[in-house]
Amino acid sequence: MILAIQENLVEGSSLTEKLDLALAAGFDALELRDATRAGQIVKGRAPTVCPELGGWLGDFDATARRRAIEELREQLDAIVELGGHGVITPAAWGMYTRRLPPFVQPARTPQQDREVLLEGLAELGAYAEGAGGVLLFEPLNRYEDHMVNTVAQAADLIAEAGSPGVRVLADTYHMNIEEDGLCAALRSVADVLGAVHLSDSNRHQPGTGHVDFEAVIATLREIGFDGVVSVECRLRGEPGAAVRACGEYLRALL
């Protein structure tokens, strides 16, 4: 497995400095926020990118959806050029939730949501295959997205979209809210698991909450997963010390 950390969590005024600090803390690589602006300094040390987009794959607005798809295509090209492979996106974030007030009806039915997502996943999956990369589709918890909340839901959409260019990104924070059991859920999507985000139950760095990361890592080994596990979280404590402690904790498990 490749152990990465999102670049925004590491101190430093440049990607060069951030990468050096991440390596010193025990990580293998950085997960980028924008592969199109990264530069060759991280080539071979940036397997994935988790970009901010001008829309969402499942956006209610068709123009915003198209913009998100085009930006994801650009990120796919850029991360492959850097020697990486994966671009991460959820269906949406913060666009609508059925779990918090005001409890108004969304702009689409669940079937219409599904049709929109299938169309985008099929297009991006085909593009990813041609580019030599993969789209990593991330379920979010019920308070952040109303469309895709579990890894099983993501895997079901991927199967119907029919492209090996799309795989599941499993995030332990969201899984801790939505899944009956993290390890059982990971086993259930072993054949389409593309990457894992590591964050503890409190959304802080691994080792500060109650997620059993020893069991999670053991399960990933059991199912033969050899991809990227990357830290995406908020940091508790002094940032530099928190990153070093997190790297040491996870490196010991790996």
Catalytically annotated residue among 71, 138, 178, 179 = 138
The answer to whether the beta carbons of residues 215 and 182 sit under 8 Å apart is yes
As given in the structure block, the two tokens for residue 23 are: 């390596």
The answer to whether the beta carbons of residues 137 and 89 sit under 8 Å apart is yes
Give CA angle at 149 (160, 158), nearest 5°: 15
Q: Is position 7 annotated as part of the catalytic site? A: no
Q: What is the CA radius of gyration of the chain?
A: 17
As given in the structure block, the two tokens for residue 44 are: 């071979």
Q: ω before 47 within 30° of 0 (cis)? A: no
The answer to whether the beta carbons of residues 10 and 30 sit under 8 Å apart is yes
Residues 6+ apart with CB under 8 A from 153: 139
Q: Is position 138 annotated as part of the catalytic site? A: yes
Per DSSP bridges, beta strands 134-138 and 2-6 are unpaired
As given in the structure block, the two tokens for residue 2 are: 């490749």
As given in the structure block, the two tokens for residue 3 are: 């152990």
Nearest to 172 by CA among 123, 147, 137, 139: 139
Give catalytic residue positions: 138, 232
